[in-house]
Amino acid sequence: MKIYLEINTTTVEQLLQQIDISDSGNLYLTSIDTQRIFQNNENLTNLNTQNFILLEENETCVVSIEKERSLSITDNNDNTNEVVRQRFRTSATIEDIMKENNIDYRNEQFLHENDFVPAESTPLSYFTSPIHFQLVETILPFAVTIINAEDNNYSLTFYCSSSMSIERILEIACQLFRIRKKYYCLHHSGRSIGEGIALKDLDTVDDKFEFQLMYMVTIKCLISYTNQTTILPGSEEMKVLEIVEYALESLHIEERDIDSYELFLIRNDNKSQV
C-alpha cells in the first residue's frame, strides 16, 4: 500500500487516519528497522523512514519498565520509582527492549514477577500483555534452562536465586511456554525431581542448571493451524472445548476469538468435525 502524504500530515496519528481498512480495530505503525511501535504523537520526519509496517493490536504488546530512582532530601514524593511504558511487536525479544532503552544486561537486569530474569533471547510473545519489568542492579547468578522435550525441544532460559524451588521453576516454564502445569513434571539428569527441592540442593557447574519438561500423561494431541503445529498432552476425560482452549493458548491466539475456530479429527487421512 502506498500513501501520498498531505501537506499537513506530520504525526503518526495523522498518517494512521489516512489508512482506510474496515473492521481493523486499533492499528499501529513500526518499520523494518525497529521492533518498537511508534507513538501517535511522534513526528514522521524524526523517524528516518518512509517505509512503514502496519500492525493490528494483537501483533503488539505493552511493556512497562519500572526504574528505581534516588530521592533527594527535599523530595517529598512517596513514589520513588519511574515507570516507562512502550509498545513493541510481539516478535521482539528482551534484547530488543534493552537496545531501545540503552540497557547493559551485565550491569542491570529485567526482573519479572519479583523472582526471575528472562534471558536476552526470550521473545515477548512468551508473556501476556501488558508485561511489567523492574530494572534492577542486583544480578541473579543462577542460569536455568528448560527444554520442552515433548515439543520439538524448544527451550528457554532465565536467571534466579539459589533458593528458587523446582515447583516455582515448573510454574515459570509452563507460564512462558503457555502450557498447563497439571500435565507436566521436570526431569534433571535423566530422573524426575520433586517440586519441594530448591536449586541450592542440586549440584551445579558454573551456576548453570538444565531441566527437561516431560509429560505425566500418555495421550498426545497433534494440533495444526495454518503453518503452525503444536503437541498438547491430553486425557480420556478431556472435553473438546478444553482442547480448543488449550490449543489457542499454545498458539498464542486470543480466547475471545474461540467461536471463530472449529476442531477436526484426522483419521486415516479422513477429516471429520468433532
H/E segment holding residue 88: strand 81-89
Tell me the per-residue pLDDT of 93-114, one tens digit each, with 9 for 90 and over.
999 999 999 999 889 999 999 9
Question: How many Cα neighbours within 13 Å face the side chain of 255?
Answer: 11
In terms of phi and psi (left: phi > 0; alpha: psi -120 to 50; beta: otherwise), the region of 114 is left
Residues constituting the chain: 274
- Does the domain formed by 59-215 have CATH 3.10.20.90? yes
Query: Cell digits for 273?
Result: 468435525
End-to-end CA distance of the chain: 40
The confidence score (pLDDT) of residue 4 equals 60
Q: Is 256 helix (H, G, I), strand (E, B) or coil?
A: helix
The confidence score (pLDDT) of residue 230 equals 80
Residues 184, 186, 189, 194, CA torsion sign: negative
Query: Cell digits for 258?
Result: 474461540
The confidence score (pLDDT) of residue 77 equals 58
Is 0.85 topped by the overall pTM?
Answer: no
pLDDT in tens, the chain (274 residues): 566 666 556 888 888 888 766 666 688 999 988 999 999 999 888 888 888 899 999 899 999 999 876 545 455 555 568 999 999 999 999 999 999 999 998 899 999 999 999 999 999 999 999 999 999 998 899 999 999 988 788 899 999 999 999 999 999 999 999 888 988 999 998 899 999 999 999 988 789 999 999 988 778 888 888 888 888 887 777 788 888 888 888 777 776 777 778 888 877 555 656 5
Residues 112, 115, 121, 124, CA torsion sign: negative
